């Protein structure tokens, strides 16, 4: 009898619980039935806009945060966010609102070409860095420019007879005529318009940048000579071996970590205690094998795209540190000679770097 009553109580409890759940479901937004597995799906962070929206000039919205002392000066300070600096990611400040046209005045930042203020290229300031809308900038400064968007790679493209530019969204570099122009400031998108640091694009088109503080104007003097193509600029043998050692040593490290490995190689080339070519530095064994991948076929693997980008950035002169000469992964190193005898400089990703 007691077992029968217990079973009856359980059944009544389950019926009552089901009734309460059904009533609660009717209170959910939209009155949808809750089945215990419903998910709230956020839009993908990599989906910027569709191709038609991105190319619509109506999406160009001027944004003017506080003006720095000199917006035209190079901005090379790494983010103070130590976590972001460690894993090589860029930190962007969200730009949530734009001033109305009536709020713009003569003190608003302007951009001029040859002293003539542009009416179509409206610059903005983000964290003290001057950005310009990529599409409008290229159409005004690059003869024969055709602008397009690659949704698979989230990359804005400018194709012209004498200049090709690739602007990957969220990355801290652009590629112009096959050359990597690297900065600490990422390419951003605001209301479906891609914005790029003005100095990156100025280098791509071969323009000279001048800041005119009294006019709140960044003036670009156009030379008509775009950046020299990669095939004529890079020593292909140096590029190949630098990309190979970067790939072998840091294939799965963040981009800044890859560049730092490249810095070690180039810093050694410039140092009197090491060989004076990239190849000879990599295969240097006067005292011991310097880089373990040279002892296996891994050194001959095809470099990843990001390893090539890192190698190009190094050969362009971009550097994380001019002092680092050694690096190690503390968790995998079989010897602590470096950490005992050299001065620690920084850690990026899994690698610690020493001078």
- Residue 96 sits in a domain of what CATH number? 3.30.457.10
pLDDT for 6: 53
Using one digit for the tens of pLDDT, what is the confidence trace for 100-137? 333 323 348 999 999 999 999 999 999 889 999 999 99
219 lies in the same domain as 239 = no
Composition of the chain by helix, strand, coil, percent to 5 = 35, 20, 45
Q: Which residue has the higher pLDDT, 320 or 103?
A: 320
Q: Domain range spanning residue 240?
A: 234-354
Rounded CA separation 75/196 (Å)? 13
197 lies in the same domain as 253 = no
Structure token pair of residue 254: 């963040």
Q: What is the mean pLDDT of residues 247-251?
A: 97
pLDDT for 333: 85
pLDDT for 48: 53
SS3 327: strand
Q: 13: pLDDT confidence band, cut at 50, 70 and 90?
A: low
250 within a domain of the structure (yes/no): yes
Using one digit for the tens of pLDDT, what is the confidence trace for 268-312? 999 999 999 999 999 999 988 999 999 999 999 999 999 999 999
258 within a domain of the structure (yes/no): yes
Instruction: Identify the domain boundary among 203, 227, 251.
Output: 227
pTM above 0.75?
no
Q: In terms of C-beta density within 10 A (0-12 exposed, 13-18 middle, 19 or more buried), how is residue 16 classed?
A: exposed
Q: Which residues contact 73 (CB under 8 A, 6 or more apart)?
A: 211
In this structure, the strands spanning 129-133 and 193-197 are: antiparallel
Nearest to 306 by CA among 247, 265, 350: 247
Contact 238, 129 (CB under 8 A): no
208 lies in the same domain as 279 = no
Nearest to 218 by CA among 121, 80, 98: 121
Instruction: Identify the domain boundary among 192, 227, 262.
Output: 227
pLDDT for 87: 37
73 lies in the same domain as 211 = yes
159 lies in the same domain as 64 = yes
Using one digit for the tens of pLDDT, what is the confidence trace for 159-206? 999 999 999 999 999 999 999 999 999 999 999 999 999 999 999 999
Q: Which residue has the higher pLDDT, 13 or 348?
A: 348
Rounded CA separation 196/193 (Å)? 10
- What total number of domains does the chain contain? 2
208 lies in the same domain as 160 = yes
Q: Is the pLDDT of residue 9 over 80?
A: no
- DSSP letter (8 states) at residue 11: H
Question: Helix 255-270 crosses helix 236-250 at what angle (to 10 degrees)?
Answer: 130
Q: Which of 69-78, 181-190, 208-217, 286-295 has the lowest mean pLDDT?
A: 69-78
pLDDT for 102: 31
Mean of pLDDT over the chain: 79
High-pLDDT (> 70) share of the chain, %: 70
205 lies in the same domain as 241 = no
pLDDT for 335: 87
Q: Is the pLDDT of residue 350 over 60?
A: yes
Contact 242, 231 (CB under 8 A): no
Q: 76: pLDDT confidence band, cut at 50, 70 and 90?
A: very low
Contact 329, 195 (CB under 8 A): no
67 lies in the same domain as 214 = yes
């Amino acid at each position: 009898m007691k077992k029968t009553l217990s079973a009856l109580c359980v059944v009544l409890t389950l019926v009552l619980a089901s009734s309460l759940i059904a009533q609660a479901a009717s209170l959910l937004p939209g009155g949808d039935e809750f089945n215990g597995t419903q998910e709230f799906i956020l839009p993908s962070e990599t989906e910027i806009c569709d191709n038609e929206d991105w190319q619509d000039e109506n999406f160009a919205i001027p944004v003017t945060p506080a003006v720095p002392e000199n917006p035209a000066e190079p901005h090379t300070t790494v983010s103070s966010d130590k976590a972001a600096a460690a894993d090589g990611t860029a930190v962007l400040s969200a730009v949530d609102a734009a001033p109305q046209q009536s709020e713009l005045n003569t003190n608003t930042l302007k951009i001029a070409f040859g002293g003539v203020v542009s009416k179509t290229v409206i610059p903005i300031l983000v964290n003290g860095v001057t950005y310009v809308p990529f599409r409008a900038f290229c159409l005004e400064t690059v003869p024969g420019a055709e602008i397009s968007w690659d949704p698979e790679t989230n990359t804005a493209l400018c194709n012209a007879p004498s200049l090709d530019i690739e602007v990957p969204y969220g990355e801290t570099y652009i590629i112009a005529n096959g050359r990597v122009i690297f900065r600490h400031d990422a390419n951003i998108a605001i209301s479906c318009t891609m914005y790029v640091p003005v100095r990156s694009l100025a280098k791509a088109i071969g323009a000279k940048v001048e800041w005119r503080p009294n006019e709140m104007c960044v003036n670009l003097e156009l030379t008509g000579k775009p950046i020299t193509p990669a095939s004529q600029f890079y020593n292909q043998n140096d590029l190949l071996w630098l990309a190979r050692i970067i790939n072998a040593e840091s294939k799965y490290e963040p981009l800044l970590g890859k560049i730092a490995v490249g810095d070690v190689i180039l810093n050694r080339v410039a140092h009197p205690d090491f060989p004076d070519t990239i190849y000879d530095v990599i295969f240097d064994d006067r005292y011991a094998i310097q880089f373990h991948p040279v002892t296996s076929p891994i050194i001959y693997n095809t470099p990843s795209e990001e390893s090539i980008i890192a190698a190009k950035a190094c050969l362009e002169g971009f550097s994380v540190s001019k002092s680092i000469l050694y690096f190690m992964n503390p968790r995998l190193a079989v010897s602590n000679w470096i950490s005992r005898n050299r001065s620690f400089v920084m850690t990026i990703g899994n690698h610690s770097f020493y001078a």
